[in-house]
Amino acid sequence: MHSLVFGERTGGRSPRVDAIEAQMSEIGFDLTVSENVLQSMWDKWVFLATATCLMRAPIRDILATPASEEVLRRRLFMECENVAANNDHPPSEAVITRAFVLRQP
């Protein structure tokens, strides 16, 4: 999971972003230039805040506890999703799908 998403805070691409991408293209990360980096930041927040931040444990440990999946899916994720949506950055279907595929031990 070596990935890096970056972009201009104001959105779109710029020569600066292109230069950063060129410099970092060989460091072994999955690089993604986001045309809407604020949305990307909110997506990451929803993903991280749902479990690891709110429950203070790695996702594997959280999912090993009784009823954790129910709490994560129906309560914490929905709460984080609502916070993002109320700030004009609802998570995309891809983010929602990714959050619920992490069941692998």
pTM: 0.72
Instruction: Using the predicted structure, report yes or no on whether residue 103 has a pLDDT greater than 70.
Output: no
Q: Give residue limits of the domains in the chain.
A: 3-33, 37-101
Instruction: For residue 98, name the pLDDT band (cuts at 50, 70, 90).
Output: confident
Confidence grade of residue 105 (pLDDT, cut at 50, 70, 90): very low
Which amino acid belongs to residue 75? Answer: R
Q: pLDDT tens, 11-70?
A: 999 999 999 999 998 888 899 999 999 999 999 888 777 766 666 777 778 778 787 777
Helices (H), 1-105: 15-24, 37-48, 54-55, 59-63, 68-70, 77-86, 93-101
Tokens for 20, please give them. 């950063």
- The candidate with the shortest Cα–Cα distance to 6, out of 43, 34, 39, 41, is 34
Contact between residue 99 and residue 46 where contact means Cβ atoms under 8 Å apart: yes
Give 94's contacts (C-beta < 8 A, 6+ positions apart).
none
Structure tokens at 29: 């990360």
